[in-house]
Amino acid sequence: LWTMSFVVSYITPMLENAGAKVFLPRERDIQRNEVIVDADGSTKGASYLEAGEAIQAGKEKGFGLKVPFLVEGENLFRMGETKLMQASGKASSQVIYIPEMPETGEYAVYVSYVRDEQNVTDAHYTVFHSGGKTEFLVNQTFGGGTWIYLGTFRFEKGLNKETGRVELSNFSEETGKLVSVDAVRFGGGMGNVVRGKLQDMEHLQKLRNEKGFAIDSAEWLPYASKRPRYQEGARYYLQYIGMPDSLVYVLNKEKIDYSNRGENAALYAKRESGKNDYKDDYQSRGEWVNYLLGTPNGPAANPNAKGLGIPVDMVMAFHTDAGTTPDSAIIGSLMIYDTTYGKPEFPDGQSRWASRDLCDLVQTQIVDDLQKLYEPEWTRRGMWNKQYAEAVRPKVPSMLSELLSHQNFADMYQANDPRFKFDVSRSFYKGILKFLAFQNNQEYVVQPLPVSHFRMNLDGNVVRLSWHSVNDPLEPTATPKSYRIYTRTENGGFDNGRAVSDTTDLVSGLKPGLIYSFKITAVNEGGESFPSEILACSLPTDDKKPVLIVNGFDRISGPEAFDT
């Protein structure tokens, strides 16, 4: 979970702010609640609606909320039905997904559909949330049969049609093609994959067949993790998001004679095949990448599996290492790649040595940045060309990073500092950016650093926002060209922001008595920075003197430490 604090909190949003689409083999959302809305059955209280012209039944299977928990080999994306809308130049049909939220908070929003070459490349999804509405165009010719992440938004508790729904319309520039309709998921949720002895699993299935969702959770929870899904390993999450078992996450099989089971021998063998969840967990991640790619780059068990057809540029496995030094010196950063397995090139013809280039660029970026910003003696450990699963299995350039030693004092003295986490994550982002630019023979621009000195001044009924741009001494291209101001009213969510060119902006039209909050980001050709701190104001409703609020807690650091 500690490495996740780098990947989900920093590296992923940095890459996404630069325009990348990032896929994760584990749940990214820390929201414990989950609401699913689908024509085949929804979470209690949620509503699925169809409007406009008739929506026809699809031919392919899709997501189905048919069971409260999953046993070995079960796939929710083979349990339901799907629907189709005929694409049109005007929105003549739409599907509306309205969740009943168990509590107010931030929820990731995911959609599912069936991929097909006859589908549109611009399926129009609109998320209505407490900060307004945000629109997305999804290419439905690839990526179906799993959850596709749109974004994370704030929703209010309860059923809120105006500020808590997702709409999918048939409006498209590709008139005559099809729009695939399936489920929408809100929130990360709790783990619901059960594991145990065969006789226990058979007993649970029998109870589930008898009682359905009425089964007492006390019957099956002892066999689940009882943890939020984001805390679970990839092996369980990949089952939940529809990956095929024998191709992706059941990779370590025991040979057991089930011939005495007669016609059910194959079924029992399948249920007992996954006997090492630890190995399946780290090995499944690379095969998941291959399933995202699909033929001819499919999983090792079947390279010609159709998969999801998603173009993947590169893969990173983010690790920390064990080990100590007697004098508390830095252990430092190691990179692992592989060129020794199989052919010298990937199935698409790209050289496997591209993985070494990726490792070299990222490691160089990390070490150079950390030596300048934190520790002049930060160690560059080397680059190994070895057959580690997360380096050898993916059929695209791959990097297994051992950033530092989580067992060594000197490494962890730095690593527990949030500023270090931000800066080293930025190093990963910059190294990946430079690798992709090099591979595509393009120039690159690094996204700006967050703005500083954000302040707010009240002048009558007008609020003046001002801030300073921050130049990056390590990256001359990371210069802001413009800014975005995001606004929130009361306890709602932030809107989609508005662009400004200067470091000062006047905000008018605020209603007295309401609390307005603002945050600022810097923008250039390379993307958008992390946001500033949030400042808030409220115009008085009477003649009382204004109150000034000063944020005295704007500094962060790691734990205090001493070294004898």
- Whole-angstrom CA distances from 53 to 50, 81, 90, 111, 170 are 9, 19, 12, 22, 10
Give long-range contacts, CB 8 A cutoff, 24+ apart: 73-80.
73/245, 73/250, 73/270, 73/271, 74/239, 75/239, 75/242, 75/244, 75/245, 76/240, 76/242, 77/112, 77/145, 77/146, 77/241, 77/242, 78/242, 79/40, 80/38, 80/39, 80/40, 80/41, 80/182, 80/183
Q: Which whole-number Å values give the CA distances from 149 to 1, 80, 185, in the listed order?
A: 21, 20, 9
Q: What are the chain's domains?
A: 24-186 (2.60.120.260), 312-440 (3.40.630.40), 452-539 (2.60.40.10)
Pairing outcome for strands 165-169 and 56-62:
unpaired
Contacts of 155 (CB under 8 A, 6+ apart): 99, 101, 104, 105, 107, 129, 130, 163, 164, 186, 493
Task: Return the number of other C-beta atoms located less than 10 Å from residue 270's C-beta.
Answer: 16
Give the pLDDT confidence of 223-232 residue by residue, as tens digits: 999 999 999 9
pTM of the model: 0.93
What confidence score (pLDDT) does residue 147 get?
98
Residue with the two structure tokens 């630890």: 278
What Rg, from alpha-carbon coordinates, does the chain have? 25
pLDDT value of position 556: 87
- Helix, strand, coil percentages (3-state) for the chain, rounded to 5, are 25, 25, 50
Burial of 259 (0-12, 13-18, 19+ CB in 10 A): exposed
- Checking if the pLDDT of 272 tops 70, the result is no
Q: Give me the pLDDT at residue 269, please.
A: 57
Report pLDDT digits (tens) over 393-443: 999 999 999 999 999 999 999 999 999 999 999 999 999 999 999 999 999
Q: Is the pLDDT of residue 259 over 90?
A: no
Average pLDDT, the chain: 94
Long-range own/partner contacts, residues 147-150 (CB < 8 A, 24 or more apart): 147/110, 147/111, 147/112, 147/185, 147/241, 147/242, 148/110, 148/111, 148/112, 148/113, 149/28, 149/108, 149/109, 149/110, 150/109, 150/110, 150/111, 150/125
Residue 160 has pLDDT above 80, yes or no: yes
The pLDDT of residue 554 is 77
Residue 265 has pLDDT above 80, yes or no: no
Query: What integer pLDDT is reported at residue 270 of this predicted model?
Result: 54
Distance in angstroms (rounded) separating the CA atoms of residues 364 and 380: 8
Stretch 469-475: mean pLDDT, rounded?
97
